[in-house]
Amino acid sequence: MVTTLRTRRDTQDDAVPSAVAQQPRRIKESPVDRVFLIAVYILLAVALIIVIAPLLYILSSSLSSPAAVSSGQVYLWPVDFSTAGYQALLGNQQIISGYVNSLIYAIAGTLISTTLTIMIAYPLSRKEFMGRNVIMALVLFTMLFQGGLIPLYMVVQNLGMLDTRWSMVLPQAVAVWQVIIARTYFRTAIPDELAEAAEIDGCGDLRFLWSVVLPLAKPMVAVIALMYGIFQWNAYFDALIYLKSPDLYPLQLVLRNVLILNTQTTGVTDVALQMERERMADLLKYSLIVVASIPVLLIYPFVARYFTKGVMIGAIKG
């Protein structure tokens, strides 16, 4: 990622290891510039702190003891370090099932979405494909105008997909901007001559796509898949409207019920256990937030690495 951003001005600086050595080569910096640059560093450091502080607070709280959390002693560092919150999560059936469901939806959804996106983006990138402008216009139009909530709900209902796993992975399967990114990438990264040569050699389009184009487009496919995966993992709205059975709920919906609506109805009848829950409730929330965000935050640096390029291409040429 950084290479694309850095190539321009840093090369000259990075080439010279020490700041002193490069002084003679450049025009001397004025005091105003120095002050300005210091202000920039300070402001960026402030931005860094503003972003990190809430995350650190959540993480620290999740690693504190139930008593410290429920009495509000935690600021930016764990108090009475404990993993009680995480242990409690492991025993919660609702959360485990949410986690498993989310994994299923994320994996299946990513597979379906990525496949469909490539299936439409690749032909649209080929000049030999007649009618590609009409199809592209039809695809782009859905960005501008859609049927809306109720009509889509009725379609899902008519297809018999309400309260099934299909309703989680199909209705939002293809994102138009992903199609744009993929198409632009195919267009710019795969030279026309390559396709022509393959055609002359008697290589069909499908085989060409599978054994030449896709290996060449690996970074782009990886980014698209990861983005779909993250969006699927984070989605709660479709589950909210299409799912009725709690055993199909993805993690985000479970989270919403536990964290925002404050309804923890796991059918607990044991009074002692219920009391324990109440005491743990606050701590549990912090641990839940961490557990739900970890998979995404682990994946995200990989996306970030390639994403700049993808966004750039999509933004500038799309």
Interaction with another protein in 38-57: which residues (CB under 8 A)? 40-41, 43-44, 47-48, 50-52, 54-55, 57
The footprint of another protein on residues 73-132 (CB under 8 A) is 74-75, 116-117, 119-120, 122-124, 126, 128-131
Tell me how many residues contact another protein (CB under 8 A). 105
Token digits for 290?
Answer: 């961490």
Q: How far is the CB of 36 from another protein (least distance, A)?
A: 5
When binding is defined by CB under 8 A, the residue of 111, 175, 214, 312 that contacts another protein is: 312
When binding is defined by CB under 8 A, the residue of 111, 205, 214, 216 that contacts another protein is: 205
- Dist CA 212 CA 129 (whole Å): 18
- Please, what is the Cα angle at 189 between 188 and 192, to 5 degrees? 75
The window from 35-43, 81-89, 93-101, 265-273 that contacts another protein (CB under 8 A) reads 35-43
The window from 23-31, 77-85, 185-193, 211-219 that contacts another protein (CB under 8 A) reads 23-31
| Residue 206, helix vs strand vs coil | helix
As to burial, measured by CB atoms within 10 angstroms (0-12 exposed, 13-18 middle, 19+ buried), residue 177 is middle
Residue 247 touching another protein (CB under 8 A) = no
DSSP, res 23: G
The footprint of another protein on residues 129-158 (CB under 8 A) is 129-131, 135, 138-139, 142, 144-155
Residue 28 touching another protein (CB under 8 A) = no
The footprint of another protein on residues 165-184 (CB under 8 A) is 170-174
When binding is defined by CB under 8 A, the residue of 175, 212, 241, 281 that contacts another protein is: 241
**Site pattern 264..283 for another protein (x: CB under 8 A):** ------------------x-
What type of residue sits at position 199?
E
User: What ranges in the chain are assigned the alpha helix state H?
Assistant: 2-6, 10-15, 19-22, 31-62, 66-70, 84-90, 93-125, 132-144, 149-158, 166-169, 176-189, 192-200, 205-208, 214-216, 218-234, 237-242, 251-255, 271-317
What type of residue sits at position 115?
T
Q: How far is the CB of 99 from another protein (least distance, A)?
A: 14
